[in-house]
Amino acid sequence: MLARKIKEKLFLVAISVATFLTILPLFHILFSVFANGLPVLMRGGIDFVTETLAPPDSELGGIGPAIVGSFVLTFLASLIGLPIAVLTGVYAAEYPNSPIGKAVKTLLLIMMEFPTILVGLFVMNILVLPMGRYSAIAGAFALAIVMMPYVAVYTEQALKEIPFVYREGAFALGLKRAVVVFKIMMSMARKGMITGILIGIAKVAGETAPLLFTAGGSARIYFAGLDQPIGAIPLLIYTLVQQPYENYHQIAWGASLVLMLIFLAIFLPLRLSIKEVKL
Amino acid sequence: MTADKFKLSLLPIASTVFGIFILMLIVFFSASLPIIQKEGLAIYTTNVWKAVEEGEEFYGVLSAIYGSIYTSVVAILIALPLSIGFAVFIIDYAPKKLKEPLIIATDIMAGLPTILYGIWGAFVLVPILRDYIMKPLYEHLSFIPFFSYPPITGYSYLSAGVLLAIMVTPFASAIIREAYRMIPKTYREGAYALGLTRYEATKTLLGYIKPAILAGILLAFGRAIGETVAVSLVVGNTFNIHPSLFASGYTISSLIANQFGNAFIYEYMPSALFASGLALFLIGLVVNIAGLLVLRRWRYAR
Amino acid sequence: MLILVLALILAGCTQQSKPTETKTEQTIYSSGATFPQPQIEKWISLYENVNPNVKIEYTGKGSGGGQNDFKEGLVDFACSDPPVKEKLWRELEKMGQPLQFPIIVGAVVVVYNVPGVEELKLDGKTLADIFMGKIEYWDDPAIKDLNPNVNLPHEKIIVIHRSDSSGTTKIFTTYLCLVSGEFKEKVGSGKIVNWPVDNIGRGLGGKGNAGVVAILKQTPYSIAYIELAYALKENLKMVALRNKAGNYVKANEDTIKSAISAIKAYIPSPEEGYKEDITQFLNADGEKSYPIVAFSHVLLWKIYPKEKAKAIKDFFTWVLTEGQKSENIIEGYVGLPKDVAEISLKAVESIEGI
């Protein structure tokens, strides 16, 4: 009897420890980024966000080009990836029983887990080398490939959740299929779809590996053109962390704080307004 | 008739996803061909990195394959108890007010940009692991092979494994939590009616969702093995094959990230790196498909 | 959300176009060796004041990375410490006429992190043995013999090398091959080599000169090879190496200049850059000469689009004239000998724009 009671207590302790250990890193990371990054931002002021990178071992300079780069890349990636992703999701939702529909669904799930570094290599091979330069368009394309599965899966799910009744009603009214899907169902599934889109955006804004061999990185130049190299915050952090200079480490923390704030700004409201997230 | 037109017009777009995927496969296979023709399977079974510009190059990425698998195994060994414990806590034990925030916390962790894990790992986690765990273990228990490598900088399989565990636990936990939540009430009530303690009841219920746990672990493994930036900042990046947790090593993804920048001046290096990428892709594919299959079959069987 | 993004892009673009309202801005992309990087960064920031319309991006990723980018056409120019090899040169010739010439002189120094040891003398053979893994402990008799008055601890030597394709490695390993036949046999020279210490657990790899410095600073009892500028900037302890004349010298402006003045450098025609001999300054004659001195080079094409050609010519003309003046050279580097600078300048002049 006693043995069982002891096991019971131990179990409770074990479970609580497990929970604690699972969640603790998040708070530790948030705390570290804030504690290390905030002083940097305070020192740098608005210049940190607008200026260009300083030489090693000197002042802070800024991460302006990286911020602009991240926005440009995310924007372009959405431009390229969203239409394809949404329409793919529509197809999967509308024709779940067709061989292609089923295969697409599985394929999307597989692609969500695909190592992102390989996506970067792939895009390097087909875009960067032929074009002869690192470019914003290559980086955006790589990000679009990473983004597509998420948005497509969310779209498909959102459409599937609409009660059949509405579809029947729309068809009964004699509307064409295209109109039914695009006008009626998508406006009803709007919330789910926007969730998916924002999740996709939040995810690619923080991605590093796809950009390693595609975007090129840029420390001094904000935006030189679609077919020119461009910077991004995660890429900058990755490069700076590997340097030994103290000022570069500080910039890395500051940039991390900026990135974290951007991510939370998109993700938190999103997450708080929906019930469940599939990542 | 209109239905067909709609389908046909969407078809090319939906197939784009297919197209990209197939294109990726083609690129990887064809880019790997040169090194495989040159070395055969030795590219995967040896640990050599002989990069010469004029002479005989030879590459073997065994060290990277070893490292990828080793770190991912460490990761899921840590993630398994954590994610199960976490799932059980949320469903069974957590007060109502805590449930939602806890789930949101793990969702944030699952989506957090991996570079943030990387910078935290490199500057915060590694020193802590090195000073409080690795050094003491090495001093007292170095006769055990796992602890036998001197922890110098702290960049090691262990650091990578722990960091990966932190990153994939939320993910595995979500799958297990979902399955655990959906166990019909009758089973729970039955267990308690029989007089089982919570511990014993939980054990039984967990046994019921074993496939979901397996699926969660497989998918977590797949995710861990593909992770690049966070790992490359903490694993040490040396061509090692060593059983000790404290040794530094390479993983396939960090090998590619590190070496690709200078690959093209050597005749066979790009091909060698693509071949290792191919290996990563295939391992990831097998593990992920296995995980998805287990999950799907289990969901339909209920 | 979209509006926010568009607004920021516009803000970024206008920020960029504000200072250059009259002329079109030229951007030059480059990458390559970390050996000369601190100097290149200094030149770039000085040149920004001279010619604000030209923006130059330099990414340090190792000589190999630079040659790689240049070959793949990903950058406008690249910096490499060792001359390009003939095989690669022939491939470049298929794409156009490559030019290669020296732009600065630097030195590879051996640095160490041993608490309590402030001065250390080593000769070529001992150095090679350390980096080959033959010498395991800091208080090995070979090291003790050369440093009788130093308190060497009984600790294992951790060897730090480069993990990327590095000109610094090439220079260093070429020197070790010169002074140790065994090293030549067992390891050889190259931008990437198989370090025997890796297999016995005493080797660590760092990315770029900067990466190596980072690891050295956090690893007690380690030893590494880096460019002089990095050692000076980070105040690292340097080894006094035995030169050909038998004296133990540390690298500084005098000892480097002594090495390059001992030999009339053979610089081939920039259009045949692969012919240059990297060993010419290694183990130079001279009482004061530092043994590991080398040029760092730049790789360019002979022909560029008109605007870019002008920008590049202007920049490198400046680098080879103003940039070589001692006030513009940072600690750790030495300007080119006059006759070498002449050859380089002539190469720059030959660049055409179409």
Q: pLDDT tens across A50-106, in order? A: 877 776 666 777 888 889 899 999 999 999 999 999 888 888 887 877 787 788 888
Give the nearest partner residue to C57 out of A67, A221, A244, using CB atoms.
A221
Q: Is residue C12 predicted with pLDDT exceeding 50?
A: no
pLDDT value, residue B3: 57
Confidence of residue A188 (pLDDT cuts 50, 70, 90): confident
**What's the gap in Å between the CA of A26 and the closest CA on chain B?**
6
**pLDDT, average across residues C138-147:** 91
Would you state the torsion angle of the CA atoms of residues B114, B117, B119, B124, taken in this order, to the nearest 10 degrees? -170
B258 reaches C (C-beta below 8 A): yes
- C203 contact residues in B (CB cutoff 8 A): 238
DSSP secondary structure letters along C192-232:
S---HHHHTT-EEEESHHHHHHHHHHH-TTEEEEEEHHHHH
First to last CA, chain B: 38
Tell me which chain C residue has its CA closest to the CA of residue B265. Answer: C68
pLDDT in tens, A220-245: 778 777 888 888 999 999 988 877 77
Q: How many CB pairs under 8 A join A and C?
A: 78
Q: What is the mean pLDDT of residues C25-33?
A: 87
Interface test with B, best of A98, A113, A116, A176 (most B CBs within 10 A): A113
User: Of the candidates B225, B168, B296, B290, which has an alpha carbon nearest to the alpha carbon of residue A105?
Assistant: B296
Distance from C-alpha of A89 to C-alpha of A195, rounded to nearest angstrom: 14
- Residue B196 pLDDT more than 80? yes
- How much is the average pLDDT of B202-215? 87
Q: How far is CA C188 from CA B52, B240, C177, C284, in A?
A: 10, 20, 6, 20
pLDDT tens per residue across span C41-53? 889 888 988 888 8
Say if the Cβ atoms of C9 and A56 lie within 8 Å: no
pLDDT at position C19: 40
pLDDT band at C64 (very low <50, low <70, confident <90, very high): confident
pLDDT at A95: 80
Which H or E run contains C55? strand C54-60
> pLDDT band at C14, cuts 50/70/90?
very low
For residue B109, which residues of chain A lie inside 8 Å, CB to CB? 25-26
C-alpha separations of C12 from A63, A89, A225, C77, C345 in Å: 12, 34, 12, 26, 37
Which chains would you list as touching A if contact means 3+ CB atom pairs under 8 Å?
A: B, C
Q: Which helix (H) or strand (E) holds A123?
A: helix A116-123
Which residues of A fall within a CB distance of 8 Å from B257? 117, 209, 212
Confidence of residue A279 (pLDDT cuts 50, 70, 90): low
User: Å from C185 to nearest chain A CA?
Assistant: 33
The answer to whether residue B247 neighbours chain C at the CB level (below 8 Å) is yes
The mean pLDDT of C230-245, rounded to a whole number, is 91
Query: Which pLDDT tens digit goes with each residue over C180-214?
Result: 999 999 888 888 888 888 877 788 888 888 889 98
DSSP state for residue C337 in the 8-state scheme = P
| Among chain A residues, CA nearest to B236 | A242
**Cα C209 from chain centre:** 8
Cβ neighbours, 10 Å, residue A119 = 23
Check: complex ipTM more than 0.85: yes
Diameter over CA atoms, chain A: 75
What tokens were used for C23?
A: 């002329």
Asked whether the predicted pLDDT for residue C250 surpasses 80, the reply is yes
Residues of A in contact with B233 (CB under 8 A): 238, 241-242
CB contact under 8 A, B288 and A117: no
Q: Is C286 left (phi over 0), alpha (psi -120 to 50) or beta?
A: left
Q: How confident is the model at residue B77 (pLDDT cuts 50, 70, 90)?
A: very high
Report the alpha-carbon distance of residue B276 to residue B272 in Å, rounded.
Answer: 6
Cβ of A18 and B82 within 8 Å?
Answer: yes
CA–CA gap between residue B111 and residue A277 (Å, rounded): 10
Cβ–Cβ under 8 Å, residues A27 and A257: no
Higher pLDDT, A62 or B65: B65
* Contact predicate C124/C241, CB 8 Å: yes
Confidence of residue C300 (pLDDT cuts 50, 70, 90): very high
- A125–B83: do the CB atoms touch at under 8 Å? no
Give residues with Cβ within 8 angstroms of A57, minimum separation 6: A245, A246, A247, C233
List of chain C residues whose C-beta atoms are within 8 Å of the C-beta of residue A128: 74
Of A166 and C130, which is predicted with more confidence?
C130
**Residues 254-313 (C) with a CB less than 8 A from some CB of B:** none
Instruction: Please tell me the predicted confidence (pLDDT) of residue A78.
Output: 92
The average confidence (pLDDT) of chain B is 87
Q: Mean pLDDT: which of A106-115, A180-189, B126-135 is highest?
A: B126-135
How high is the mean pLDDT of chain A? 85
pLDDT at B14 over 80: no
- The pLDDT > 90 percentage for chain C reads 32
Instruction: Kindly indicate the confidence band of residue B7, based on its pLDDT and cuts at 50, 70 and 90.
Output: confident
Please give the pLDDT value at position B295. 84
pTM: 0.86
CA atoms of C5 and C18, how far apart (whole Å): 20
Chain A with chain B: Cβ pairs closer than 8 A: 251
Of A21, A242, A268, the CB nearest to B82: A21
Reported confidence tier of residue C18, pLDDT bands at 50, 70, 90: very low
Please give the angle made by the CA atoms of C319, C321 and C322, to the nearest 5 degrees: 75
Query: How far does CA A97 lie from the centroid of its chain?
Result: 30
Q: Are C140 and C155 in contact (CB under 8 A)?
A: no
Q: What is the pLDDT of residues B35-62, one digit of tens each?
A: 889 888 888 988 888 877 777 888 889 9
